[in-house]
Amino acid sequence: MITVVVEGVRISGFVADDGRIQGEGWERPAVVERHGGNEFSVTVGERRCRVVAIRESGEIHFLVDGWSMVGVIDQGGGGQTPGAARSPGEPHGRQEVLAPMPALVARIEVKPGDEVVAGQPLIVLEAMKMENDIRARHGGIVTAVHVVPGKAVERGELLVTLTQTK
């Protein structure tokens, strides 16, 4: 059994010439034909479609019906799914806010000691001429701001730490 995580959803199965895939509460027959290169024809249940898929840095990028998505093979043991609300190893009662993309820090809207509510903007990031508010997932108190305006941050870099209020 192989498990892949696509956009936070776990899907498992065996697929060769013939096979089945399953997720939470569902199961479907699945057939994958490879057309050489990176192109595949896939039949899941009743629906047949064309998929382009390429491995890159341990992830599998695929294109279905115009949508570009990413699948990560679960190597076992990991109970957490990508897309979950907290960063790896984040302890309970604490909220670590990470950069969702490589970007520049445009503004910082909070300082340590501030009490924030869920959805409140903490940091404004800028990339490709667009600004994006990075918001608190839960209410809490800001314990640390780890960046300064103008700093270039990588995807996944720690921006702000909050203690969670109940």
Partner 1 sequence: MRADGGLRRILIANRGEIALRIIRTCREMGIGTVAVYADPDAEMPHVRAADESVCLGGPASKDSYLAMEKLINAALRAGVDAIHPGYGFLSESAVFASRVTKAGLLFIGPPPECIAAMGDKTAARRLMEKAGIPTIPGSTGALRNLKEANDFSRMQGFPVLLKAAAGGGGKGMRVVRGPDELPRAYTAAREEARTAFGDERIYIEKYLEDPRHIEVQIVADRAGHVLHLGERECSIQRRHQKIIEESPSPAVNEEMRCAVTGAALKAAAICRYESAGTVEFLLDRGGKFYFLEMNTRLQVEHTVTEWRSGVDIVALQILIAQGEDLPLTQKEVCLAGHAIECRLCAEDVLHGFLPAAGRILHLRVPGGPGVRDDRGIEEGNEVSIHYDSLLAKLSVWGTDRPSAVARMIRALGEYEVLGVPTNIPLCRAILLDPGFQRGDVTTGFIEEFLSGGFGKDGDSWRRMAGAAVCISLENDAGARTGSSPEKGMAGARSDWRSRRSDGMRQA
Region 37-56 residues binding partner 1, contact defined as CB under 8 A: 38, 40, 42, 44-45, 47, 49, 51-56
Q: Is 83 in the site for partner 1 (CB under 8 A)?
A: yes
Residue with tokens 């820090």: 105
Q: Is 108 in the site for partner 1 (CB under 8 A)?
A: no
Exposure string over 141-155, b if 16+ CB within 10 A, otherwise e: bbeebbbeeeeebee
Name the minimum Å distance from CB 145 to partner 1.
14
Q: Which of the stretches 110-118, 121-129, 140-148 binds partner 1 when contact is defined by CB under 8 A?
A: 121-129
Identify which of residues 141 and 157 has a Cβ nearer to partner 1 in the complex: 157
Q: Where are the beta strands (DSSP E) in the chain?
A: 2-6, 9-15, 19-23, 26-34, 39-44, 47-56, 59-64, 67-74, 94-98, 103-108, 115-116, 121-127, 130-135, 140-145, 152-153, 158-164
127-131 long-range contacts, Cβ below 8 Å, gap at least 24? Answer: 127/101, 127/102, 127/103, 131/106
Q: Is 59 in the site for partner 1 (CB under 8 A)?
A: yes
Judged by CB under 8 A, the residue of 108, 114, 137, 146 near partner 1 is 137
AA identity, residue 126: E
Q: Which of the stretches 74-82, 111-119, 138-146 binds partner 1 when contact is defined by CB under 8 A?
A: 74-82
Least Cα distance to 54 among 37, 66, 42 occurs for 37
Judged by CB under 8 A, the residue of 25, 36, 66, 76 near partner 1 is 66
Q: Is 119 in the site for partner 1 (CB under 8 A)?
A: no
Q: Is 11 in the site for partner 1 (CB under 8 A)?
A: yes
Name the minimum Å distance from CB 166 to partner 1.
20
Identify which of residues 28 and 94 has a Cβ nearer to partner 1 in the complex: 28
CB 96 within 8 A of CB 27: no
Q: Is 138 in the site for partner 1 (CB under 8 A)?
A: no
